[in-house]
Chain A
C-alpha cells in the first residue's frame, strides 16, 4: 500500500513540500524542484511588477506541481486574510500557508495574529496550513479551530539551524491528528531526516536548497533524506541503551 501524505483529503506521494524563495533564477529553481520530487510548492503574493520576466507559476504549471500560496510578509491577521483571499482569486486555490510574522529580525510567527487569522480563514472556507512556533498547545488549538495541518518551525526561517527543540516537535506529533509539517530551519539533509524520524508527516523547506551551492543536488539530498527518515520512523528505531549490547553470540 502506498504511504501517502494526505492533507484535507488530497493525496501526495512526496512528503517534501518546497518553497520557491531565494533561488537565483527560475531555471535553477526549476531544476531544483524537479530533483526534489515535490508535488506541492509555496509562492508568495506581491504587487505585480510589469517589468519582471517569467513567472514562478509557469514553472509550477509546466511541472504539474500544485501551488500553495502563502501569506509571507504579513504582520496582522487582517493583512493575512486579505492576502489569502487575493491568492484564492489569483490562483484558484483555497489552500493557504498561513504565515503571520512578529518582527523583521527573527521572522518568528506571531501566535495571536496567526490564531485569529486561522479562525477567520477556516470560517471563510479555506484549507489552512498555519506556520507556527514549536508550541504544542498552540498546535492543538489550531487543530481544534479547523486547520488542515500544523507547521511548526525547527528554527527561524532561513537560519539553517535545524530542529532546536526536537522534544516539542515530538509532543506536537503525539497530540496531532492532522498532518504535522516541519517548516523552516532545515539546513541540510540530516535535519530533514530527523524531522521525519520524530514523526512529522512532511517537511517544508526552501532556503536550504535554493541557497545551496548546488541547489539541484541539495534538492535530491532532501528528497532522499525525507524518504529515509520516513522509512526509519515506520520501521521503529531501537531503544537507546546506556551500555553495549552484543549483537554476536557469546563465545562459549
Chain B
C-alpha cells in the first residue's frame, strides 16, 4: 500500500495504521500531531485508524518560529 508521509512516498503493509506511519519517522510519544488527508487524527485513535491506499499523512511538531 502506497501512502505519502510528510510529502515522501512510503510503502506500508495493507491495513497499516496511523501509528505505524508515525513510527517510520519517530518513536516520540509527545509533542506531535497527525493529520490524514487534512483531518486531525487524535492520538488515542492512532492504533485503531487504518490507512488506505494513497492516503496523505502529515506528522507535525513544534519548531522555532513566530
A residues touching B (Cβ–Cβ < 8 Å)?
A: 19-23, 26, 29, 42-48, 50, 52, 55-57, 67-70, 72-73, 78, 82-83, 85-91, 97, 99, 206
Contacts and interface: CB of A to CB of B under 8 A. Distances in A.
B1 interface: no
Interface residues of B, number: 22
13 contacts: A20-B66, A42-B66, A44-B65, A46-B61, A47-B6, A47-B58, A48-B6, A48-B59, A55-B31, A67-B62, A82-B38, A90-B33, A90-B62
B31 A89 contact: no
Contacts of A26: 64
Nearest to B63: A46
A228 B26 CA distance: 45
A57 B62 contact: yes
Nearest to A83: B60
Interface in B39-63: 40, 42-43, 58-63
B66 A19 contact: yes
Contact of B32 (A23, A72, A88, A90): A90
Interface in B16-44: 25-26, 31-35, 38, 40, 42-43
A89 B63 contact: no
A72 B31 contact: no
A21 B62 contact: no
Nearest to A85: B40
Given A89-B43, A90-B31, A50 B63 contact: no
Contacts of A97: 66
Given A82-B38, A86-B40, A45 B63 contact: yes
